Amino acid sequence: MEFQAVVMAVGGGSRMTDLTSGIPKPLLPVGNKPLIWYPLNLLERVGFEEIIVITTRDVQKALCADFKMKMKLDIVCIPDEADMGTADSLRHIYQKLKTDILVLSCDLITDVALHEVVDLFRAHDASLAMLMRKGQDGLEPVPGQKGKKKAVEQRDFIGVDSTGKRLLFMANEADLDEELVIKGSILQKSITSIRSELIPYLVRKQFSSASSQQRQEEKEEDLKKKELKSLDIYSFIKEANTLTFAPYDACWNACRGDSWEDLSRSQVRCYVHIMKEGLCSRVSTLGLYMEANRQVSKLLPVICPEESLVHSSAQIVSKHLVGVDSLIGPDTQVGEKSSIKHSVIGSSCVIRDRVTVTSCLLMNSVTVEEGSNIQGSVICNNAVIEKGADIKNCLIGSSQRIEAKAKRVNEVIVGNDQLMEI
């Protein structure tokens, strides 16, 4: 076994709390499938027979009850009271890890050829190889968002070498207003997140100079005497030409002059595979959740060619008014002269006559009465849209009711016990 696969499914979806207050983030429907199904399906398609899933009790119950896969799922539950980041979660399962690991987030939806990332890791004997895609400049309206449109995602800025594969710099745009500083000696347990802490730390650790080794050793000796020694990444690398941390400014100005050591000699090597085409998205915000449901109609026919986008049990009177890029779930009823375009409709929904649904997500058991018009909105489980309502760019929470002939634009309508963060 060359690699072990680990799927992270612990995060609560703090940037989309109205959706995740009633449904755990890994189980949110995307294209009428739970979000976590997509990384699990990707791993199954490339031949993994066993996967470690780090998650919560609620998600574990659903995985055990509803998921039918050939792979064995080794489910590890994080205590509900624990506040663990992704690196903390890996540390929690340390005893299970016997090889190099392939880590996927439960909110990753992609059609990447996974072997391209793995081959990059192998070819360069890398410390890490990561998957990224070029940022999208398009602005899409987010349900409930008023005022100027905002980008649907927060971007990472990276620097690569002339090959476009060696990762030299990485920072999130939220961090670029301040100086980026990571101390050369970090306590082993101070790293809690893979993406925001561990990867930037490893990227910087590539830039090391032999002359700094002695100074580092002297510092570590002093720390030993004070019983305050801290471990850094080199504490876990076999001894062989160990290089240590260089000044931070060397990171960005690495190739200026003749004094810089050949990066190929660094013991810490970070690489990145950048997708230029295809689907690759992290569903971490409401905007990205909407975009994933818009795009998934292109992906599902490729990875599940045996499944129709319109379930065979759906009852549709005017089939020609259902767009070819729309999904309709089992046991859903669509009335006469009702139009559904660029939308995902869940299971057991009732859509009456002369209804228009455009660029929307309707979850399960939603009722839309006659003559209603819904555009660019998310309608959650068991909601009722009464006769003649006009809804645009809204988020309607679970079991909410919109009165007849109401006009709602850019609103978030949820229960009093739910909070929405946009």
pLDDT digits over 262-276, tens only?
555 677 888 999 888
**How wide is the angle at C-alpha 36 spanned by C-alphas 197 and 126, nearest 5°?**
40
The candidate with the shortest Cα–Cα distance to 184, out of 225, 212, 224, 226, is 212
Among the listed ranges 117-131, 167-181, 225-239, which one has the minimum average pLDDT value?
A: 225-239
Outline where 226-339 has alpha helix (H).
Answer: 249-252, 286-303
Average confidence (pLDDT) over 370-397: 96
Query: What is the rounded CA–CA span in Å between residue 193 and residue 88?
Result: 7
Q: How confident is the model at residue 348 (pLDDT cuts 50, 70, 90)?
A: very high
Residue 344 near residue 31 (C-beta atoms within 8 A):
yes
**pLDDT at 360 > cutoff 90:** yes
Return the pLDDT at 19. Answer: 80
Q: Residue 26 has what DSSP assignment?
A: G
Among the listed ranges 267-281, 323-337, 375-389, which one has the minimum average pLDDT value?
A: 267-281
**C-alpha distances out from residue 360 to 131, 309, 400, Å:** 29, 15, 17
**pLDDT at 129 > cutoff 70:** yes
Helix (H, G, I), strand (E, B) or coil at 196: helix
The phi and psi torsions of 65 (rounded to 5 degrees) equal -90, -40
The candidate with the shortest Cα–Cα distance to 25, out of 328, 215, 283, is 283
Return the pLDDT at 207. Answer: 64
The candidate with the shortest Cα–Cα distance to 274, out of 126, 169, 166, is 166
**pLDDT at 234 > cutoff 60:** no
- pLDDT of 78-107, one tens digit each? 887 777 788 888 888 989 999 999 999 999
Model pTM score: 0.81
**pLDDT at 258 > cutoff 50:** no
Share of residues in the chain with pLDDT > 90 (%): 47
Query: pLDDT higher for 415 or 377?
Result: 377
Residue with the two structure tokens 């299971």:
347
Task: Count the Cβ atoms, other than its own, within 10 Å of residue 60.
Answer: 16
What is the average pLDDT value for the chain, to the nearest integer? Answer: 80
* Beta pairing, strands 156-160 & 167-172: antiparallel
Query: pLDDT higher for 36 or 201?
Result: 36
DSSP result, 363-388: -TT-EE-TT-EEES-EE-TT-EE-TT
Return the pLDDT at 118. Answer: 92
Residue 360 near residue 373 (C-beta atoms within 8 A):
no
Residue 126 near residue 119 (C-beta atoms within 8 A):
no
